[in-house]
Amino acid sequence: MSLQLPLVLASASPRRLDLLKQINVIPDQVIAANIDETILKKEKPAELAQRLSIQKAQFIHAKQKDSYVLAADTVVACGHNVLDKAEKAEEALKYLGKLSGRRHRVYGGITLITPNGKEFTRLCQTTVKFKNLKDHEIKSYISSGEWEGKAGGYAIQGLAGAYIEFLSGSYSNVVGLSLYDTMKILESGGYK
């Protein structure tokens, strides 16, 4: 029986780790990839998600060459506007106002680099529609603090789930990692 080489998750997200555990994929190490996440001029949201997942994987693989390195990035976009991680209540308020009553897209870039340096990458897209949010609903959500550090200023797996009128695509992608696409990429790379 051959020994499975280690898997490193290149992420600081506890949600990604929890999602992987749901499908019985337990990384041997979790290492955050500290890269510059600045959007490039004329870069589309889908391109951003894919590029960042690739760069995160490459950054960690350079230090962990004898491991499988799995990286992901989630980008929430309203039209061509990227809604970053909300760090302040004012940002979350602005984002929720934009998302209220309309559809937006959540892009998930996923990259795996194998121990022999082969790169596999996938892009997942989920369309989400919020109901028309009333002022008191937005205020209540802001006071919950769930928006802190979340792309687009919301966490679908929490209170915001009650505001989702429509979803097409991967639910787990909106949480932080498409489980279907992750399993496909791990299989493609030969990770058992």
Catalytic residues: 73
Tell me the residue type at 46. A
CA distance 75 to 63: 26
CA distance 128 to 171: 9
DSSP assigned state of 175: H
Q: What angle do CA 139, 140, 141 make, to 5 degrees?
A: 90
Q: Which helix (H) or strand (E) holds 30?
A: strand 29-30
Closest CA to 185 of 35, 71, 28: 71
Contact indicator for 10, 59 with CB cutoff of 8 Å: yes
Start-end of H helices in 35-177: 45-61, 89-99, 135-144, 171-175
Length of the chain: 192
